[in-house]
């Protein structure tokens, strides 16, 4: 009877020790997974920081003039076509000074083709410096 009890205790201890061994393996796998997840989260945090800094940088670029955008959608094209035709450097051929001004205005017209506000400024400049009527 006494021997049986000792045997049973020994068996249960052996089983418990085997069980704890297998639990350790699972624990090691879980720790490895945890390290991988932490590394992924850390790298994602770095990407988010970069995104956040770009967002901040873009927000600081200033206000957007939506009124000009709407007006440009319908008025810039016609004004551009008229200006590019009337400010063509060939129209001022013998006068080198005016040709240079016309060249400069034509270059800027190409740059600000879709910006009505800038086109109006260029129009004023053309009227003043090139003596043309638009």
Torsion angle, alpha carbons of 83, 84, 87, 92, to 10:
-150
Residue count of the chain, please give it.
134
Q: CB-wise, 83 or 130, nearer to other proteins? A: 83
Q: Nearest approach, Cβ of 131 to other proteins (angstroms)?
A: 29
Among residues 83, 92, 115, 122, the one that binds other proteins under rule CB under 8 A: 115
Q: Any residues with CB less than 8 A from the CB of 87 and at least 6 apart, and which?
A: 102, 105, 106, 109, 126, 130, 132
Q: If binding is defined by CB under 8 A, does position 6 make contact with other proteins?
A: no
Give yes or no for residue 110 binding other proteins (CB under 8 A).
Answer: no
Q: Is 99 in the site for other proteins (CB under 8 A)?
A: no
Nearer to other proteins, 36 or 70 (CB): 70
Indicate whether 70 belongs to the interface with other proteins (CB under 8 A). yes
Instruction: Determine which helix (DSSP H) or strand (DSSP E) holds 88, and give its type and residue range.
Output: none
CA-based nearest residue to 89, from 78, 76, 105 = 105
Question: Where along the sequence are the contacts to other proteins (CB under 8 A)?
Answer: 50-51, 54-55, 58-59, 61-62, 64, 66-67, 69-77, 113-115
């Amino acid at each position: 009877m006494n021997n049986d009890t000792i045997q049973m205790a020994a068996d249960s201890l052996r089983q418990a020790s085997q069980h704890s061994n297998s639990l350790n393996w699972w624990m090691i796998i879980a720790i490895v997974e945890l390290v991988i997840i932490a590394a992924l989260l850390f790298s994602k945090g770095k990407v988010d920081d970069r995104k956040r800094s770009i967002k901040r940088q873009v927000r600081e670029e200033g206000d957007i003039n939506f009124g000009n955008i709407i007006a440009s959608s319908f008025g810039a094209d016609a004004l551009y076509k008229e200006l590019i035709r009337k400010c063509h450097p060939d129209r001022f051929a013998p006068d080198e000074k005016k040709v240079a001004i016309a060249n400069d205005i034509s270059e800027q017209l190409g740059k600000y083709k879709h910006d009505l506000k800038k086109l109006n400024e260029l129009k004023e400049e053309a009227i003043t410096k090139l003596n043309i009527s638009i």
